[in-house]
Amino acid sequence: MRAPYGLNILDNCLTCPVKEDHLFCDLSVPAGQRLNEIKSTAIYPKGAMLFIEGQQPRGVFVLCTGKAKLSTSSREGKTIITKISEGGDVLGLSAVISNRSYEVTAEMMEPGQANFISREALLQFLKEHGEVALRVAEQLSRNYYTAYDEIRTLGLATSPSEKFAKLLLSWSSKNSQNDGSMQVKLTLTHEEIAEIIGTTRETVSRLFSDFKKRQLLQLKGSTLIIRSRPALEKIIQS
């Protein structure tokens, strides 16, 4: 079914054409049928807030298409992006399971689809289907280790250059070529990158300029070409 923004609505989890190895993807038929019954589907525009930091956990959002940024803010107004979520990610899971307020704000970075599951329905779903409960436990464990790595990146990196190099490496690890180069579509602004690595927009602009002069990366429109993983790794090691 066609939807606003040129998107296709994925309204049946059992026949979803993009099923991958994600938490609520490729379930058994009974679990998939039950998931179809308890979810509500909606299309969200860029900038839409799925939930806000400190809000009571009313449910989870299964991101089907599009991207969302998860961020947390200090009382002084400083914001850090903790994750860029993509299709297949389940947002708000830890808050819903622990019955604690959402620890981050989830904002759509581009138009996309998300399926909402209320907290009550999700908990009953996990009681009825042990396979899904096990997946949730595994996902929460992965979330812990991801958060640990992010803390190490922000806490142990000694300079903005090192943090920036680590971020580029995390992007290049997905589809790196044999020569260590990679192309990725850059959808983040300099300000958003600054919020990820804990620095200022001006510093990020200087880092892009410096890395381009050193031929570590190249920009062609919205395409970012990362030239060499070994060179970035050397920055971290030094």
Same domain, 29 and 137: yes
CATH code of the domain containing 49: 2.60.120.10
pLDDT value of position 3: 66
Which tens digit of pLDDT belongs to each residue from 27-41? 889 999 999 999 999
What is the extent of the structural domain holding 62? 4-156
Residues 172 and 121 in one domain: no
Residues 113 and 169 in one domain: no
pLDDT for the residue 210: 95
Do residues 118 and 186 both lie within one domain?
no
Q: Give pLDDT, residue 76.
A: 82
Of the candidates 97, 131, 156, which is a domain's last residue? 156
Q: Which residues of the chain have pLDDT under 50?
A: none
| Count of domains for the chain | 2
Residue 92 main-chain phi, psi, to 5 deg: 90, 10
Question: 82 and 132: one domain?
Answer: yes
Question: Of 156, 178, 210, which marks where a domain is finished?
Answer: 156
Sheet holding 68-73, edge to edge: 49-51, 105-108, 68-73, 79-85
Whether residue 189 is found in the same domain as residue 221: yes
What does the pLDDT read at residue 141? 92
CB 39 within 8 A of CB 62: yes
**Residue 142: C-alpha distances to residues 136, 147, 190, 213 (Å):** 10, 9, 28, 37
DSSP for 12-26 reads: -TTS-TT--SSTTSS
| CATH number reported for the structural domain that contains residue 218 in this entry | 1.10.10.10
Residues 72, 134, single domain; the answer is yes
Instruction: Count other C-beta atoms under 10 Å from residue 136's C-beta.
Output: 20
Q: Are 59 and 35 members of one domain?
A: yes
Radius of gyration of the chain (CA): 19
| 145/29 same-domain check | yes
Same domain, 60 and 114: yes
Domain boundary residue among 130, 156, 182?
156
134 and 83, same structural domain? yes
116/41 Cα distance (integer angstroms): 6
Give the per-residue pLDDT at 18: 67
Burial state string for 31-45 with b = 16 or more CB within 10 A and e = fewer than 16: bbebbeebbebebbe
Spatial separation of the C-alpha atoms in residues 176 and 16, rounded to whole Å: 28
